[in-house]
């Protein structure tokens, strides 16, 4: 008879006393947390450092974790979010994402088109970096992690409607900035 995989809640309970259970939780979420932090910091070095700190902090406080019906990842994202906020405060510098390191999703045979697209991606990342923290967080969770509004609401501690509205406002703001920058470039 096949033994059923433990649920997330069971793993969290076991992780308080069992290092292996915590290891399983870590493996479940490390990529998501890393990805989130990478887009918030803009480089792999800090992303690795902050990811490690996120999980160490989670390990230290897992005994005090209370299951309130939200996914465990919401708690991890909160820790990561706070660490990133502190990181920005400490560094008070804005880094540009090294987009060269990010593989493009669609292969582009024409080098000129590819170059243009990369320029556009750089510009977009630059514009994203100038959005507020919560708007950046929303875009990362929406596009990188491809979460639903419900899941994002759980993580950000907002209602689903508020997230929907924030998402629309963010897209419109981004579009306006995009158009303005493009117009300035063409002049």
Contacts of 65 (CB under 8 A, 6+ apart): 12, 72, 75
- Residues that bind another protein (rule: CB under 8 A) add up to a total of 46
Smaller CB separation from another protein, 159 or 165: 165
- Residues 156 and 166 sit within 8 Å (Cβ to Cβ): no
Considering only residues 13, 30, 74, 162, which one is a binding residue for another protein as defined by CB under 8 A?
30
Contact 54, 80 (CB under 8 A): yes
Compute the least distance from the CB of residue 130 to another protein, in Å.
14
CA atoms within 13 A on the CB side of 122: 12
Candidates 92, 105, 110, 184; binder of another protein (CB under 8 A) is 105
Percent helix, percent strand, percent coil in the chain, to nearest 5: 75, 0, 25
Q: List interacting residues with another protein (CB under 8 A).
A: 15, 17-20, 22-23, 26-27, 30-31, 34-35, 38-39, 44, 47-48, 51-52, 55-56, 59-60, 99, 102-106, 117, 120-121, 124-125, 139-140, 143-145, 171-172, 174-175, 178-179
């Amino acid at each position: 008879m096949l033994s059923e995989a433990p649920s997330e809640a069971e793993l969290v309970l076991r992780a308080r006393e069992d290092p292996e259970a915590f290891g399983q939780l870590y493996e479940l979420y490390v990529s998501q947390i890393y990805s989130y932090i990478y887009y918030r910091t803009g480089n792999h070095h800090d992303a690795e450092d902050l990811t490690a700190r996120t999980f160490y902090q989670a390990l230290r406080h897992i005994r005090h974790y209370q299951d309130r019906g939200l996914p465990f990842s919401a708690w991890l994202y909160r820790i990561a979010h706070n660490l990133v906020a502190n990181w920005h405060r400490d560094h008070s510098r804005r880094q540009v994402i090294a987009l060269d390191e990010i593989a493009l999703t669609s292969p582009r045979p024409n080098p000129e088109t590819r170059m243009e697209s990369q320029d556009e991606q750089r510009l977009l990342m630059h514009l994203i970096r100038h959005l507020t923290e919560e708007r950046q967080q929303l875009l990362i969770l929406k596009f990188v992690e491809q979460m639903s509004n419900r899941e994002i609401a759980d993580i950000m501690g907002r209602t689903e409607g508020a997230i929907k509205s924030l998402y629309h406002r963010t897209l419109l703001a981004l579009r306006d900035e995009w158009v303005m920058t493009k117009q300035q470039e063409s002049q």
